[in-house]
Structure 1
Amino acid sequence: MPRVAGADIPDNKKIRIALRYIYGIGPHFAELILKEAGIDGDIKANALNEDQLAQIAGILENNYVTEGALRRQVAQNIGRLRDIRSYRGDRHRRGLPVRGQNTQTNARTRKGRKRTVAGKKSVKGMK
């Protein structure tokens, strides 16, 4: 498995797809990186030579925030929102949707599994 910018990318996939396994690199950035490096995107990742891998790694290191640094940056941004007590920060703190989505019926991904609350027990025989 080739190692690029601190991340393992799969051998048997085309390089344009394999680059997407790096956190912070999507389809658009993968194409831009390959265009800048002058590498055909249809070549398999294991067919790249060391110079090409080093060239891709250099472009990633100089121009893009990826992997651990990007995760840290996102966590710091969320922490800042929490610290200034913004609405978005409160939504992050409570584990609710942040971007205005409906929560009455959906939002199970953010809220987690249903927790059924027992209703009032009725007393039989009373009028």
Structure 2
Amino acid sequence: MVFVFGVNFPEQTLVKRALETFYGIGPKASQGIMARFHIFPWAKVGTLKNAQVLDLTAELSDMKIENDLRREVQENIRRLKDMGTYRGRRHAMGLPVRGQRTRNQITTARKLNRIERGGTGRVQM
């Protein structure tokens, strides 16, 4: 088991896949990090040297990932709701925000938009 940024990874895991398990790191970011530290694209976590593991951990600690990024996204959504923008209202109602159609898929939006009211514990629409 290799310990990278507070997470244990099995030695057979690809470095690219291990990096992408962190919230906020996608394929492009993981490729960039691996290129910066000269790690082969098909390298496994078990083949990394201790210096490379320490470099990866240092790089990840400098980035805004996991809880910090989640908190920032929630603050941005809260800011949109407080300003009363169109996107904020769509977030508040649980409807698609980025222009998707609701003509045919409204039943899914209704399922996701249920609000629990009162102390009865029943879910109402």
Q: Report sequence identity in percent.
A: 37
Counterpart code for 1:55: D
Change (3 A) 1:98 1:7: farther
The count of aligned residue pairs is: 113
State the match for 1:66 in structure 2: 65
Task: Give the CA deviation at 1:41.
Answer: 2.4
Structure 2 unpaired stretches of 5+: 115-125
Task: Give the CA deviation at 1:12.
Answer: 2.3
Inter-partner Cα distance in structure 2 for 1:15 and 1:107: 41
Given that 1:10 and 1:18 are in contact with CA atoms closer than 8 Å, whether structure 2 keeps it comes out as no
Give SS of 2:100's match.
coil
Alignment of 1:55-94 (within 5 A): 55-62=55-62, 64-94=63-93
Structure 1 unpaired stretches of 5+: 116-127
Inter-partner Cα distance in structure 2 for 1:93 and 1:67: 23
Return the index of the structure with the highest Cα Rg: 1
State the match for 1:112 in structure 2: 111
Does residue 2 (structure 1) correspond to residue 2 (structure 2)? The answer is yes
Structure 1 or 2: more strand by fraction: 2
Alignment of 1:17-96 (within 5 A): 17-62=17-62, 64-96=63-95
CA RMSD of superposed structures (Å): 2.2
Task: Give the CA deviation at 1:8.
Answer: 4.8
